[in-house]
Structure formats: structure tokens, C-alpha cells
Structure 1
Amino acid sequence: MSDAPLRLVIFDVDGTLVDSQADILGAMHLAFAGEGLLTPPREEVLGVVGLSLDVLMPRLAPEADGGTLARLVQGYKDAYMSLRSEQGGEISSPFYPSARATLEALQAQPDVLLGVATGKSRRGLDKLIEAHELKGIFVTQQVADFHPSKPHPAMLLAALSETGVEPENAVMVGDTTFDMEMAQDAGITGIGVSWGYHPPAHLVAAKHILESFDALPPLLDKIWRD
């Protein structure tokens, strides 16, 4: 029996595990068009991915009143679900290269637990897990419905509490400044990815930057060996 402590690898979802930008951008356009508003530029939309909708929408529509913002949020949710149902989640939110293989390799390690911390809703995450047949892989799942928006550390603190893992034995893998700041505030090692929605140069709170999923298992070995 291993004396190694339990380890926890927590993943962001959009921009980290899966590339859902087509649906995100399409749904945002439909939401804004429904209110007769110009859709914000692609860079602005992707720049706020990871925040909860009630936090990101005022950033994208700073002149909108409360009623308009509420309709934009609901319009986005409805459009996103509609777009995904047209193609299926596996096509509309495809895995990044080697993401699934890496998840399966990590899950096979007896002292490693996997989790997610995402700006998605419970419903949205459930649909994604179903589409990619990921049921049972993530032992802790933190979603926007029950926590303050990233970068508040509540999601990560809840994940640590649920799993009983110490902060020094956990990492957060994500693509945005919000993910890395959240990890820093929770006392968890932040691992940024180079392929997501925020440029790697912006991930200043990250302790490490991944260039590919294949590099994650050896990096984890190094982090926990040191």
C-alpha cells in the first residue's frame, strides 16, 4: 500500500480541456443580436471566458441596464444550449489534443484524484460530461451555480474540502488569468496552458506553463517530487 499522500489535479473546462469557442462566440452573438446590440469583438468575449455570466456580461455591455443584462445572460444560456444540441457536445466542444488520454492516464494513478472548477453551470457541465462520456472521472466538480465567480478561491477551497487533499498536494490547470489568480489565492500551484483563450504572457500568477497535455504527467511528477 502506498504511503504517498492523495494528490488532486483540478481542471478548468472551456479553453483548457475543450475548445468551445465556436459555440461561445455564436451564442454571444445571438444574445446581443436579440437585444439589438452589436456583438463585442472576439478578443473581448474570449477575454472574459471563465467568469460567471452575471460577472462577465456587465463587462461586455457596460452601458446596459439590469433588465437588459439579465436578458443577455438568459439569451446566451438558451443560445448556447441550442447550438450545442444541433451538433452534439462532442463536436461543438472538442477535446484539445491528448486531453482525454491525459485524463485517463492520471485517473489510473491510485493516489491521484481529478476535479473540475468551471464557470459553466451545473447543467452545462453535466451535458459536457455526458457528451464526452466522462462520468466518474471527476470526483469533485465545482460550477458557477454555487460559488462566487473566479478568481475568488471558493471553488478550489471546496474541492480541497471535499477530497481532503492539502493545498500543497493540489494543482489547478487552466488557460486564463482568472484560473491562475484563483489558484494563487487558494494556495494551490497554478499550471497555465498555452493553447487557451488568454495569451500565456498574461498568466503571470502561473507557476508553470504547459505547451501540450503530454507534458502534464511529467510536470506533476516533478512538482510533487520537489
Structure 2
Amino acid sequence: MYLIVFDVDGTLVDSQNTILHGLQVGFEAVGLPMPDRKTALSIVGRSLEEAFADLVGPAHADKAQEMADAYRASKISRRGLGLDVDPLYPGAREAVEKLHAQDDILLGIATGKAMRGVRHMQDTHDLHGRFVTIQTADTSPSKPHPDMILRAIAETGADPHRTLMIGDTGFDMAMARAAGAHAVGVTWGYHDRAQLTAGGANRIIEGFEDLDLALNEILEFSEVSV
């Protein structure tokens, strides 16, 4: 049995605009200036408190909780109004459905989102029932701590050597490798190739159409049609 775990933001869904809006709300809540777009998006994948702490630095680390709370409140309000709808990246649905259909493959999620955000994504894109394990910031330390992958492995009974993380940040890559799993980086998210490589990516792909080959090479899917 193989376990393939997906990140969400920057991997399955293009959430940059809604994330930037939430970050702006957080900075405005404490009267601090918003960093530039590239810097702001560099923390995607981290849990909110850690992300804000990284962005504001030690001088304002005490404000991170208030900023995270403002971000969450904004998200809940906007979702209730139908405003925060993040589109799937091209090929994401097809990749998930294709892998889900394989008898020897289990799918999971490991994300810096809260479970509430994952459920919203599943509701929006009709992706309920595809993922047998969902690990979020509600119950695990922030990436790159390996807890999310270790929990996913424990819940499914998977072998770490048959477990693979697909994500767009060096945090995802480092998390997977620290758990003894494999890692595939994607280039359409928030970290560049250098960051993915530094995190420990086994392979880096340019689009979901390249995923089959990466999985075959890393996990030796000789007996599995993907």
C-alpha cells in the first residue's frame, strides 16, 4: 500500500489572493505595514501564528496571536458570504481522482490550514471522500515539523518508505524527509526550485502531467497503473 499526501495551498488550490487579503487584515489589526507580496507569500504552509511571527520578527512577535485571530475571523466571515473561493490548479482534480481510483493507493492531506479550511475546500470542489487522512494545524505543530506526516502514517498503517508528500514549499519537503518519507515539489506554488531543493525534494515537477513519472521513479510503481 502506498500513501500519497497532498499539501493544499499552492499545491491543490491557488489561494494566493485570499491569503494575501487575510494577511493584510492581520497586519491592519495591529497597525503594522504589510510586507511585499513575495515576502508575504513565502510563509504559506506555516501555521498562522508561526507565519505572522516570521513576518513581523522578534520585535513584534507578541502581536502574532492577535494577527492570526484577525485573519481567522476574516476568513470565517468571507466564506460565509461566499467570497473566499480558491480555484483548483489545472490538473489537480484529475490527479486526485486518478490516484484515488487505484486500489493500492491511499490519499491524505497535510496542510497549515485549519480543518475548517480543508472542509471548505472539499465542499467547494466536491472532494469529500478522497482523502483517508487529513492533518491540519489544529492538531499538529507547524511545518516543517514531521508530526503531520507521522500522524498520517500512523492512521493509515503506511510504511514511511512507501509514503510521499506533494507540496509547493521547502517546508513540505523538509517535513516529509524528517518523517522518513519521499517528497515531490511543485513549481506553481509559493517557493522556487532552490527552496524546494534545499528542503530535500526527491523530484520537482512543472505540472500535474509530470506527476505519474515522478511517482513511478520514486516509489517504483511498476505494478500500479497511474
Q: Same fold (TM over 0.5)?
A: yes
Structure 1 segment 35-184 matched on structure 2, within 5 A: 35-62=30-57, 63-64=59-60, 66=62, 68-87=63-82, 92-184=85-177
Measure, in 2, the Cα distance between the counterparts of 1:24 and 1:83.
12
Contact preservation (8 Å) 1:49, 1:197: yes
Contact preservation (8 Å) 2:114, 2:138: yes
Residue in 2 that maps onto 1:3:
none
Measure, in 1, the Cα distance between the counterparts of 2:25 and 2:49.
17
Residue in 1 that maps onto 2:224:
none
Provide the identity percentage.
44
Residue in 2 that maps onto 1:189:
182
Measure, in 2, the Cα distance between the counterparts of 1:65 and 1:176.
23
Counterpart of 2:139, as a letter, is: F
Change (3 A) 1:65 1:196: closer
Contact preservation (8 Å) 1:140, 1:163: yes
**Cα displacement (A) at 1:82:** 3.0
**Cα displacement (A) at 1:220:** 1.2
Structure 2 unaligned segments of length 5 or more: list them: 222-226
Q: 1:25 aligns with which of 20, 29, 47?
A: 20
Give the alignment's TM-score, normalised by structure 1: 0.92
Structure 1 unaligned segments of length 5 or more: list them: 1-5
Counterpart of 1:43, as a letter, is: K
Measure, in 2, the Cα distance between the counterparts of 1:78 and 1:40.
21
Measure, in 2, the Cα distance between the counterparts of 1:25 and 1:65.
19
User: Which secondary structure does the structure 2 equivalent of 1:218 belong to?
Assistant: helix
Contact preservation (8 Å) 2:183, 2:202: yes
Contact preservation (8 Å) 1:28, 1:76: yes
Measure, in 1, the Cα distance between the counterparts of 2:111 and 2:36.
23
Is 1:210 the equivalent of 2:205?
yes
**Cα displacement (A) at 1:162:** 0.7
RMSD, aligned CA: 1.4
Measure, in 2, the Cα distance between the counterparts of 1:52 and 1:120.
7
**Cα displacement (A) at 1:17:** 0.5
Contact preservation (8 Å) 1:143, 1:155: yes
Contact preservation (8 Å) 1:50, 1:178: yes
Counterpart of 2:9, as a letter, is: D
Contact preservation (8 Å) 1:106, 1:217: no
**Cα displacement (A) at 1:24:** 0.3
User: Which secondary structure does the structure 1 equivalent of 2:60 belong to?
Assistant: coil
Give the alignment's TM-score, normalised by structure 2: 0.92
**Cα displacement (A) at 1:224:** 2.4
Counterpart of 2:99, as a letter, is: L
Contact preservation (8 Å) 2:50, 2:64: no
Measure, in 2, the Cα distance between the counterparts of 1:147 and 1:130.
23
Contact preservation (8 Å) 1:52, 1:150: yes
